[in-house]
A and B are shown apart, each in its own frame.
Chain A
Amino acid sequence: MKTESPLSVIQANGKANGYDPGLSKEELLHCYRTMLLVRAFDDTALKLQRSGRIGFSIPNKGIEATQVGAASALKKTDWLFPSYRDFGMALYHGVRAADMMNNMFGNAADSARGRQMPVHFSFTDPIHFFSISSPIGTHLPQAVGAAHAFKLRGESHVALVSFGDGGTSSLGFHSGMNFAAVWKSPVVFLCQNNGYAISCPIEEQTASDGFAIKAQAYGMPGVVVDGNDLLAVRKATMEAVERARKGGGPTLIEAKTFRMGGHSTSDDPSRYVPKELVAEWEKKDPVQRFEKFLQAKGIWTEKVRAELEASCKEEITAAVREAEATGQPPLETIFSDVYAELPPHLRRQGTEAFELARRKGDAAAGDGAFPL
């Protein structure tokens, strides 16, 4: 069985193919600026990692339109179950770059209190951006459960869960898709097909013709969109979200895109990605694609880009300054949040750890008397 060709909206001449995204000029520019902000964040994170100021990052380059297009279809009352490569979804909804940077530095202001690796964000405000876990695929059935809770309470919110092509091989993909379809849960599955799972190309992941087609077997609609076309992703996600809100159940969206960098800052993609493939996707840059649309609408010039880029750079620089000026989390954060209440054995271990640190003179600033 063949999947139809990907939905695309923005044409070579920048026209939107008759589709009205229903966004004001400001909203369109917000989408655009968010993509630029992701790029600025990425560039800075790479430099920080290379210079040893942070340990790790995940490049988003090439995926920005998928992130922003999908996020733009959600309301603040909807919930996001993101992957680690979804910076743009958080930024679109107004998560402060500085709060993401706090996580990159694992400092005391990080919402995860420096416990997680960089890029494992967690936010509840201004949108529920669910705490990211490293194990791939675990969040799919969780999104279904959260969506089911919306449904049981008669709320019209939806959950959007984002994962990669590799994620479709996980146990969580199967159980998540199956549960959602059986329960008709208000959930949108967004598969970001970016070509590779670390070094493994999609042919090593699936023998089916793409990923959207898998929806059929589970009993839900599946659509393929051009993931580098922000409006196409928005259109498909809006349709899926509306269907879910109205009780029509889940949808699987496959966004075809390409990871333009390594899997992470620890990865060297030149070991396994053919140069020609990169060159081919270089021409399909999602930011330029959206610029064409904005230009055709008369709201884009080189000057607009330069101004927005400068303001993004400033925002990221300020975020780094803020995050770097914040100290390390105190020792007690190793022991807090394991349970709602600190059990006796953890109190004892914490006290011992703090006493030893103090005795040996390496208690960090902020390690007061063990407070828990």
Chain B
Amino acid sequence: MPTLTLVQAVNDALKTAMRRDKSVLVFGEDVGPKGGVFLATEGLTTEFGKERCFDTPLSEDGIVGAAIGMAINGLRPVAEIQFQDFIFPAFDQIVSEAAKLRYRSGGQYTAPMVIRTPYGGGIRGGLYHSQSGEAYFCHTPGLKVVVPSTPHDAKGLLLASIEDPDPVLFLEPKALYRSIKEEVPEGHYTVDLGTLRGVREGKDCVVFCYGAMVPVAVKAAEQAAELGHEVRVVDLRTLLPLDEEGVLEHAKQVGRVVVLHEAPRFCGFGAEISAMIAENAIEYMDAPVVRVTGFDTPFPNTLEHHYLPDARRVLDAIERVMAY
């Protein structure tokens, strides 16, 4: 099995999908000869030609709108938005159109398409190359929202997303693009959407997280182990539709919960997890749910290491939950 980085696994998934299915197309800004600003689409134009992997004009609205048109008419578009921060011109196409098409046409028209985009901080990108906008999209019925955290999952989840009958927003943690490597199976396999992944065992406390925060949670759990706390880490990996049963089961088993994301706190994804537990598992809880998140501010540049939750902040939350 080849050892791949996360961005190489994305590239491998795209190639695998394009080899299997001629209707799969990849397009966006700079994805052609340059291979994308993070090289996620490197080599695709060479292997599949300009008809199947191509650059578009600089218009996210156009990219997503055109993807919808292709999807309703028999193609399987995989559109790239260069940074998640630049997706907002396409918000209308995603939220008003792609996500609602099946519902508003009674299933006559559907948009099986994937929008891939790198999200998150950690690269000194300041306000507009660092954001985690998942909450805007998780508030959108009809859309699926997927966030891998390992090369293996990135490939399997992306292939599953491309084959999914509904529009999928695939958020790639750019901070992990090259920071982790692992063995990734060759050829085709999928990881089911809507399933979470147990990352680390533990019976005292569980940290729910996703994307670039998964390694942060693991590091904090290791530090907590030295203090005698056995901390479980769960990677949600599909935010919408969420594996609610899985989340509740973990919460009930352990009774102490930390939710971790780098997006701002207010109305963030952590609020949903917290509410779900309050509604369905409150009698199992030994401590209030604690959220560790980005602050409710825009994303800073020089001080991004203070903004981004780190193991130190997660450990602090674990200690608080354990001390309750």
Where the two chains meet, the residues of A that have a C-beta atom closer than 8 Å to any C-beta of B are 55-56, 106-107, 114-117, 120, 133-137, 166-167, 169-171, 197-200, 204-206, 266-267, 271-272, 328-329, 331, 333-335, 338, 345-346, 349-350, 353, 356-357, 360
Query: Contact partner of A329 among B30, B88, B296, B303, CB < 8 A?
Result: B303
A333 touches B300 (CB 8 A): yes
B57 touches A206 (CB 8 A): yes
B residues in contact with A115, CB < 8 Å: 126-127, 298, 300-302
B126 touches A353 (CB 8 A): no
A99→B304 CA distance, assembly (Å)? 21
Whether A120 touches B126, Cβ cut-off 8 Å, given contacts A199-B30, A346-B295, is yes
B297 touches A198 (CB 8 A): no
A204 touches B56 (CB 8 A): yes
A205 touches B57 (CB 8 A): yes
Whether A117 touches B57, Cβ cut-off 8 Å, given contacts A134-B127, A353-B306, is no
A residues in contact with B295, CB < 8 Å: 334-335, 346, 349-350, 353
Whether A272 touches B303, Cβ cut-off 8 Å, given contacts A56-B124, A205-B57, is no
B128 within 8 A of A: yes
Known: A107-B302, A117-B126, A350-B295. 12 other contacts (CB 8 A): A106-B301, A115-B302, A117-B124, A117-B125, A134-B128, A135-B86, A135-B128, A200-B55, A271-B34, A333-B303, A338-B298, A353-B295
Where the two chains meet, the residues of B that have a C-beta atom closer than 8 Å to any C-beta of A are 29-30, 32-35, 37, 55-59, 61-62, 85-86, 88-89, 124-129, 265-266, 295-298, 300-303, 306-307, 312-313, 316
Return the chain B residue nearest A167 by Cβ: B58
A residues in contact with B58, CB < 8 Å: 136-137, 166-167, 169-170, 197, 200, 205
A114→B125 CA distance, assembly (Å)? 11
B residues in contact with A360, CB < 8 Å: 312
Instruction: Enumerate the 8 nearest inter-chain pairs by beta-carbon distance, A residue then B residue, closest first.
Output: A134-B128, A114-B302, A199-B34, A117-B126, A169-B57, A106-B302, A166-B58, A169-B58
Query: Contact partner of B30 among A117, A133, A198, A357, CB < 8 A?
Result: A198
B residues in contact with A166, CB < 8 Å: 57-58
Report A197 CB to chain B, min CB distance, Å.
Answer: 5
A101→B12 CA distance, assembly (Å)? 41
Interface SS of B by simple majority = loop
A204→B86 CA distance, assembly (Å)? 19
A residues in contact with B301, CB < 8 Å: 106, 114-117
A117 touches B128 (CB 8 A): yes
A171 touches B59 (CB 8 A): yes
Report B149 CB to chain A, min CB distance, Å.
Answer: 24
Whether A345 touches B300, Cβ cut-off 8 Å, given contacts A204-B55, A360-B312, is no
B302 touches A338 (CB 8 A): no
B residues in contact with A114, CB < 8 Å: 300-303
B128 touches A170 (CB 8 A): no
A134 touches B85 (CB 8 A): yes
B298 touches A135 (CB 8 A): no
B residues in contact with A197, CB < 8 Å: 29, 58
A169 touches B316 (CB 8 A): no
A158→B29 CA distance, assembly (Å)? 33
A204→B303 CA distance, assembly (Å)? 38
A329 touches B37 (CB 8 A): no
A187→B100 CA distance, assembly (Å)? 39
Report A364 CB to chain B, min CB distance, Å.
Answer: 8
Query: Contact partner of B57 among A133, A204, A350, CB < 8 A?
Result: A204
Report A109 CB to chain B, min CB distance, Å.
Answer: 12
A residues in contact with B266, CB < 8 Å: 345
A residues in contact with B128, CB < 8 Å: 117, 133-135
Report B101 CB to chain A, min CB distance, Å.
Answer: 21
B residues in contact with A356, CB < 8 Å: 312-313, 316
B300 touches A334 (CB 8 A): yes
A198→B126 CA distance, assembly (Å)? 19
A356→B307 CA distance, assembly (Å)? 12
